[in-house]
Amino acid sequence: MPVEIMRDRGFAHAEATAGGVPLHEIVPGTMQSRIHDKLWLVGEILDVDGRIGGFNFQWAWSTGAVAGLAIARDLRPPRS
Ligand SMILES: Cc1cc2nc3c(=O)[nH]c(=O)nc-3n(C[C@H](O)[C@H](O)[C@H](O)COP(=O)(O)OP(=O)(O)OC[C@H]3O[C@@H](n4cnc5c(N)ncnc54)[C@H](O)[C@@H]3O)c2cc1C
């Protein structure tokens, strides 16, 4: 049954945002920007939104872990 949305409850009650940095601008294995060097983007700043129930948390934590490991590798001094 189609349900027409009449209104939302406003920003004060919002729990997740739609929109953000497009995923094609991100290297998925590192979460690093393809546009700006040394910039990693994770979580809700990216154009991903899920249903309430843990998907947004999972996205934030998973991309944070991927980026954190990639940044640690990037900071590691080269082996001599
Ligand atoms: C009321 C509410 C309920 C929610 N319930 C759920 C749920 O049940 N399940 C679910 O999956 N998702 C839920 N969400 C969404 C989920 O919380 C977010 O998607 C997730 O926390 C995003 O994580 P993030 O690290 O990307 O951003 P955030 O958690 O927003 O973290 C960003 C951090 O950056 C800091 N910051 C901002 N500007 C600056 C600056 N200039 N310098 C330094 N620090 C800065 C902020 O203070 C903040 O600590 C809920 C959100 C809200 C508001």
Prediction pTM value: 0.90
**Cβ proximity of 41 and 33 under 8 Å:** yes
Q: What is the pLDDT along the chain (80 residues), one digit of tens a residue?
A: 999 999 989 989 989 989 999 999 999 999 999 999 999 999 999 999 998 889 999 999 999 999 999 999 999 988 87
CA 18 vs. chain centroid, Å, equals 11
Ligand 1 test: best mutation among 17, 56, 63, most atoms within 8 Å of CB? 56
Say if ligand 1 is within 6 A of residue 53 CB.
yes
Q: Ligand 1 atom closest to Cα of 58?
A: 11
Within its chain, how far is the Cα of 63 from the centroid?
A: 6
Q: What is the C-alpha to C-alpha distance for residues 53 and 62, in angstroms, rounded to an integer?
A: 15
